[in-house]
Structure 1
Amino acid sequence: MTSQPQRVLYIVSLFPCWSETFIVREIEQLLAHGVDVRILSLKRPSETLVQARAAALMDRVVGPPSFPAALVAVTMQVLRRPLRMAGVLGTLVAQLWRSPVSLAKSLVALWRGIGALPAIRRQDPQLIHAHWATYPSTVAWALGRLADTPFSFTCHAHDIFIEDQLLRRKLSDAALAVTISGFNRRHLARWGAAEAGERLQVVHCGVDFAELPAQESARRDGAIVSVGRLDPIKGFDVLIAALGTLRERGVPFDCHLIGEGPLRPRLEAQRRSLQLEPVLSLPGAQPQEKVRSALVEASIFVMPSVVTPEGNQDGIPVALMEAMACGMAVVGTRVSGIPELIEHDVSGILVEPGDSQALAGAIERLLSDAALRQRLGAVARERVRQDFNVAAETRRLLSLFGRALHPQGAADAR
């Protein structure tokens, strides 16, 4: 049996971040297991809505230092470890020179990461772990080399579907690489996932199952809810088109589309053109308590994820897991790892991405059949309890952290 780490540094682009509640839950679970987790945020806090659970972790956050402080830290690092610094910078330039924007952002992130080294050294982390295979894991890789500390990272969606920021190098050098679905693991084959072997593992993003009770009696007939960033990968334009079809068919419904993002003006224009204002609300980002109330009250949850022309797509949306944990009947699409969560006609309904007519048909089917909603919702809740429960998934991650730090001990235990 391998021992778990006592001190772990998490690196993220921005903390707190409204759309990354899964990271908050993971850190909470690690703290509950006695791990001292500190968080390096590569950007200063900027979000107007901060969830209460994220706010409770702010005393653990190290932000980007001031320019003078960063300059001193970087200068000291150059003087102490000139060859390591040259190696890190040389690797970044060699790998990213064809993408000058990514290179420039990586250098800025590295500047901020090295600038935070004095604060990081006070914690003396045994492991540096990053979420996302882009700038956070680049900084984790670099700090690992500069501080002689093992690093690991979790990759999710766009960071591997449309980006390649030293992925092959990171998979090779990481003590542990984690991804959130079997689909992602197969996708990573192009960057040497096979060579990573057991160092590449699937750990699902999880939900706090205990805080998502099923309340079937509270559900309103005809109520639809969807939650997510107003981003092209979510396919909310397809959902609005499907709602327009339902309106034409005379199907009674009201829909709440909760979230904020760059597509708001376009989605509002589409809502106006289809005259859906009375039955489709766009309330923006909401506190977690209001999101959960919406999940409890609605009849069905819809997540119309798509694949963009660039190849970007969802991982497995956490909002979809939360809805299923509440015992909701859900509609999803056959995108990325979503079929690993939803078995068609068993724990939900799956349709092809981008097909608004099929989506309308699935929604109408569920709205008209209470028994089907109840059957699918019960199976969905059990599916999440078994395989997408944050408590169990974090215990698995913690075990993998221990194996990464003590690979010989893990081999002996086998």
Structure 2
Amino acid sequence: MIANRKILVLLKGYPRLSETFIAQELLGLEKAGFELALVAMRRPTDKKRHPVHDEIRASVDYLPEYLHEEPIRVLKAIWQIRTFPGFGAALKQFWRDFRRDMSRNRVRRFGQAAVLVAEWPQDAQWLHVHFIHTPASVASYASQISGIPWTVSAHAKDIWTSKDWDLAEKLERADWAVTCTAVGYDKLNSLAGGRGNVNLSYHGLDLERFPHFDGERSLRDGKDPADPVRILSVGRAVKKKGYDTVLKALAKLPSELNWRFTHIGGGEELPGLKTLAEELHIADRIVWMGSMDQRDVLTQYRQADLFTLACRITADGDRDGLPNVLVEAASQRLMAVSTTVSGISELFRDDENALLVGPDNAEALSVSFHRAITDPALRHRLGAAAEDRVRRDFDYHDSIRDLSRLFRASWAQRNDE
């Protein structure tokens, strides 16, 4: 048995309310016996934390978010690592990358990599990074400079908004990559040059935090003005979530149908969405809750009748993978109306455990809303089937076992070498 090495985990930002799947994974790895050190490229901006963040033992350090904010630290780091055997090769790689991507962002990543190597904890022997776009650039340069092996977890936006050449070269240099949807796996595997180092592992859910809901689901059917059907969505208000489509679909429902829509989450699109709700004359039926921690969100899942998320692919290619909130809602027997984008169809099948429509189709979404609102038996049937699927196939312990196997196999191979 190869002893567990200490892993330095590089994160884009930490902690983040919208990235519970990462925090859940960090805690799972610690419980599996791995020692972690956390380094983030951005300081937290959320005012709240999930309980899972307070259960993680590893401390977190922060790289300079912008190089000009800590110039002495950056220059000191570059001076310190200039004699490292891999510094020249990393610098050449940076210039090749910069010619293809002439941006301040690219310069920033090399500077952050220099600081990461210069301040590297002596007892850490492996570098693992979340997101294959900018964080993986830092990890790749740092690995070239230091000779420390690295691996990467790729998710959604980082895959679909990156250039193919950038993804292919990172996959060539990383020991392995893991991603959380079959569609993401197919994309990365096609760029991996036959190495076979791309792995599929769904994040899953900590089902102890989302135990079975024993309560009765309501029989609301939209007829009672005093007891409207409760529609819930949880997610950042950003373009790829499709909240404008949700509002337009709700506005198309018959005026005599009684419903209330609750949104949980922050996001830069909120002001525009509130304006759109006013223009559509449905603002009085909407509650904007803002950010909430996981315990309060669980309560909202249990009080709701219907969950929705209208994910889309944006003009720059950005999209969700498999949003964790859909898995969470399903774990509570809460039926979803959603879209067929990316990994959503890997969890749900239309009319078997959810209602799915194509993206950016407010008319079709409205038809599905009407069907779900007026038919509580349908909601109960599809919600129960969704929970069965989640509890059978989306336990996060499976992903922790996958990661443990990958780490230990790499360490054993390097030990043999």
Tell me if the contact between 1:6 and 1:34 (Cα under 8 Å) persists in the aligned partners.
Answer: no
Partner residue in 2 for 1:158: 157
Q: CA deviation at 1:219?
A: 4.4
1:223-277 deviations in whole A, cap 9, x for unaligned? Answer: 110111111100000000111112x342211111111111112101111111212
Tell me if the contact between 1:218 and 1:296 (Cα under 8 Å) persists in the aligned partners.
Answer: no
Partner residue in 1 for 2:235: 228
Partner residue in 2 for 1:398: 404
Q: Supply the RMSD in Å over aligned alpha carbons.
A: 2.1
Partner residue in 2 for 1:256: 262
Partner residue in 1 for 2:140: 141
Distance 1:407 1:58, change over 3 A: closer
SS class of match (1:306): coil
Partner residue in 2 for 1:32: 31
1:13-51 deviations in whole A, cap 9, x for unaligned? Answer: 111112111100000000001111111101233332333
Partner residue in 2 for 1:175: 175
Tell me if the contact between 1:177 and 1:201 (Cα under 8 Å) persists in the aligned partners.
Answer: yes
Distance 1:216 1:182, change over 3 A: same
Partner residue in 2 for 1:319: 325
User: Aligned partners of 1:302, 1:53: CA distance in 2, in Å?
Assistant: 25
Q: CA deviation at 1:135?
A: 1.5
Q: CA deviation at 1:58?
A: 7.6
Tell me if the contact between 1:316 and 1:337 (Cα under 8 Å) persists in the aligned partners.
Answer: yes
Q: CA deviation at 1:73?
A: 2.4
Q: Which one of the candidate residues 209, 213, 216 is aligned to 1:215? A: 213
TM-score (norm 2): 0.90
User: Aligned partners of 1:71, 1:45: CA distance in 2, in Å?
Assistant: 25
Tell me if the contact between 2:129 and 2:152 (Cα under 8 Å) persists in the aligned partners.
Answer: yes
What residue identity is the alignment partner of 1:224? I
Partner residue in 2 for 1:97: 99
What residue identity is the alignment partner of 1:11? L
Count of residue pairs the alignment pairs up = 401
SS class of match (1:403): helix
Partner residue in 1 for 2:248: 241
What residue identity is the alignment partner of 2:346? E
Distance 1:214 1:255, change over 3 A: farther
Tell me if the contact between 2:217 and 2:380 (Cα under 8 Å) persists in the aligned partners.
Answer: no
Q: CA deviation at 1:131?
A: 0.7
User: Aligned partners of 1:375, 1:395: CA distance in 2, in Å?
Assistant: 32
1:64-90 deviations in whole A, cap 9, x for unaligned? Answer: 265433332221100233xx2222122
Identify unmatched segments of 5+ residues in structure 1: none
Aligned pairs (5 A) from 1:199-348: 199-215=197-213, 217=215, 219=217, 221=220, 222-246=229-253, 248-348=254-354
Tell me if the contact between 2:27 and 2:55 (Cα under 8 Å) persists in the aligned partners.
Answer: no
1:61-118 deviations in whole A, cap 9, x for unaligned? Answer: 011265433332221100233xx222212212213423322xx223323322321335
Partner residue in 2 for 1:20: 19
Partner residue in 2 for 1:68: 72
SS class of match (1:30): helix
Compare 326-335 and 235-244 and name the one that shifted more.
Answer: 326-335
User: Aligned partners of 1:51, 1:11: CA distance in 2, in Å?
Assistant: 20
Would you tell me which structure has more helix in proportion to its own residues? 1
Distance 1:219 1:118, change over 3 A: farther
User: Aligned partners of 2:414, 2:57: CA distance in 1, in Å?
Assistant: 36
Higher normalized contact order (CA 8 Å, seq sep 6+, divided by chain length): 1
User: Aligned partners of 1:366, 1:137: CA distance in 2, in Å?
Assistant: 42
Identify unmatched segments of 5+ residues in structure 2: 65-69, 221-228
Tell me if the contact between 1:128 and 1:149 (Cα under 8 Å) persists in the aligned partners.
Answer: yes
User: Aligned partners of 1:4, 1:236: CA distance in 2, in Å?
Assistant: 47
SS class of match (2:314): coil
Tell whether 2:47 aligns with 1:48: yes
Partner residue in 1 for 2:223: none
Q: Which one of the candidate residues 85, 88, 95 is aligned to 1:86? A: 88
User: Aligned partners of 1:409, 1:69: CA distance in 2, in Å?
Assistant: 34
What residue identity is the alignment partner of 1:34? G
What residue identity is the alignment partner of 1:204? Y
Partner residue in 2 for 1:193: 192
Compare 150-159 and 85-94 and name the one that shifted more.
Answer: 85-94
What residue identity is the alignment partner of 2:84? R
What residue identity is the alignment partner of 1:90? K
Tell me if the contact between 1:178 and 1:200 (Cα under 8 Å) persists in the aligned partners.
Answer: yes
